[in-house]
Amino acid sequence: MFDIERWQEIFDTLKKNKLRTILTGISVASGIFILVVLLGFSSGIQNGVTEQFSGDATNRISIRTRSTTKGYKGLNPNRRIQLKNEDFYTISDTYDDFLEYKSAGYSIWGGLINYKNESGNYSVRGVYPDFQFIENAQMLEGRFINVDDIEESRKVIVVGNKTKNELFEGKSPIGELVSVFGINFKVIGVYTDAGGEQEEGNVYIPISSAQIAFNGGDRIRDMTFTVAMSENLDKALELSNGLVTGIERDIKQKYIIAPDDRAAVRVDNTLEEATKIYSLIDVIKAVFWFVGIGTIIAGVVGVGNIMIIIVKERTKEIGIRKALGAEPFSIIGMILQESIFVTMFSGLFGLITGLGLLEIVGPTIENDYIKYPQVDFNTALFTVFLLVVAGTLAGFIPAYRAAKIKPIVALRDE
């Protein structure tokens, strides 16, 4: 029930010590303000890192082979291990239930590309259609390679935005013919990549066309897969690591490679690297929470001290209340209400100020690793809950001491 007389008492008490109340409120408000700003920036760091990783799939498994470094089962070391189309088909079929996108690659590094009087050296990569999603390439014009291009070994090519600007001087290249080492390919698409110009320096052709045009036979340079993500990052990592182990084992068994020969088969798992980054973000969040809550505790201690002083100043009044029959619970409630009010009012002011600052300053921040710093609703709600708890803790000890005061002792107090 709303007790207007009790609220009048609270405001009268606070008015008697305005400076003390203001300073205490500032300490609590600053604590919440610092916590909100720190949490906002930790969210901004997470957004920035996530955007940096968006250039490629973070759950990507890449397989390459080199020469063996150890003899095994009577075979000499230094054998060159060459992957073939059938290896890609076998792995794709064996682990199909766990894979999202799949592509083999046959690359020509430093491929000379000519268009009329313009020319340049670019990485020519023969790939499957899924590679668009593995590399997270966004089409600006036309389309990417499709299944028909692979099956018919069409001489078509997809160029990056960088290549377009350098060879075609900004005009649309769709339908134009370019020469790759003297072989004509028709441009069917232009893509952009979040990785920037370095990634846009690649051009893509059907892998079947690359193998035919550049005497690749059935050889492939590498294989790339992405793992279907689960809701739990740890489970996704466990699945990804299991696939890495299985794929590496299958290749080593087929080509008779020593199990401990780490150089012959190289399987990279980018999800594991991404997990390390996100773990770092979690550490940063924990540090920010620690600093913010530490600041709040300092403010709460200030509120607690103020309430102790208030109880001391009102000792005689409390004694009179108890002599007139006031229950200990009502005394505790009176002190707690005042403590929670001071903490909540000051804390909400700090919370609103912090959120307002993030809304104003956040959009103006231009940094690759800090993007859109903000605090979500659940965090803000938790902060309000934290304020209530803090106010209760700040006032409980003084309230308990007030409830234990004996009327006769209180009335003797000077």
Q: Do 6 and 334 touch, CB atoms closer than 8 A?
A: yes
Q: Are 73 and 256 in contact (CB under 8 A)?
A: yes
Q: Is the pLDDT of residue 270 over 80?
A: no
* 370 and 345 within one domain: yes
Q: What is the mean pLDDT of the chain?
A: 80
Same-domain pairing of 165 and 105: yes
Query: pLDDT tens digits for 144-197?
Result: 999 999 999 999 999 998 889 889 887 899 999 999 988 999 999 999 987 777
> Pairing state of beta strands 138-142 and 265-269?
unpaired
Structure confidence at residue 338 (pLDDT): 73
Note the pLDDT of residue 112: 85
| Cβ-contact 338, 17 below 8 angstroms | no
**How many structural domains comprise the chain?**
2
Residue with tokens 């409390």: 318
Residue finishing a domain among 269, 295, 328: 269
Residue whose pair of structure tokens reads 């207007």 in the numeric block: 4
Q: In the prediction, which pLDDT does 356 show?
A: 84
Task: Let me know whether 207 and 116 are in one domain.
Answer: yes
pLDDT confidence of 220, banded at 50, 70, 90? very high
d(CA 59, CA 278): 13
Which of 253, 269, 285 represents a domain boundary (last residue)?
Answer: 269
For the stretch 301-338, pLDDT in tens is 766 676 666 666 666 666 677 676 767 677 777 777 77
Q: Which two tokens stand for residue 155?
A: 């001489």
d(CA 112, CA 98): 38
pLDDT at 1: 44
What percent of the chain lies above the pLDDT cut of 70?
A: 74
Distance CA 151, CA 1 (A): 78
Domain that includes residue 320, residue range: 4-52+277-412
207 with 226, same domain: the answer is: yes
Q: Say how far apart CA 335 and CA 299 lie, in whole Å.
A: 17
Confidence of residue 403 (pLDDT cuts 50, 70, 90): low
Q: Pseudo-torsion of CA 287, 288, 291, 293, nearest 10°? A: -110
Residues 398, 323 within the same domain: yes
Residue type, 47: N
What pLDDT band is residue 272 in, cutting at 50, 70 and 90?
A: low
Residues 234 and 181 in one domain: yes
Summarize pLDDT for 12-36 with one digit per residue, the tens: 666 766 776 777 777 777 777 877 8
Determine the Cα–Cα distance for residues 3 and 285; give it in Å rounded to an integer: 42
What pLDDT does 171 receive? 87
Distance of CA 321 to the CA centre of its chain: 57
When pLDDT is cut at 50, 70 and 90, the band that residue 287 belongs to is confident
Does one domain contain both 292 and 233? no
232 lies in the same domain as 318: no
Tens of pLDDT, residues 60-98: 889 999 999 999 988 999 999 999 999 999 999 999 988
Q: Which pLDDT does position 157 carry in this prediction? A: 96
Count CA atoms closer than 13 A to 171's CA, side-chain side: 6
Task: For residue 375, give the DSSP letter.
Answer: -
Q: Are residues 265 and 326 in the same domain?
A: no
Distances (CA, A) of 233 to 36, 83, 184, 227, 276: 26, 31, 45, 12, 11
264 and 347 part of one domain: no
Q: Which of these three, 219, 249, 269, is where a domain ends?
A: 269
Residues 199 and 313 in one domain: no
Other Cβ atoms closer than 10 A to 2: 5
pTM: 0.60
Could you give phi then psi for residue 353, rounded to 5 degrees?
Answer: -65, -45
Does an H or E element contain 250, and which?
helix 233-254
Same domain assignment for residues 27 and 91: no
Nearest to residue 388, comparing CAs of 30, 35, 28? 28
- The pLDDT value given to residue 222: 94
**DSSP alpha helices (H): ranges in 54-146?**
85-94, 131-134
- pLDDT given for residue 402 in this prediction: 67
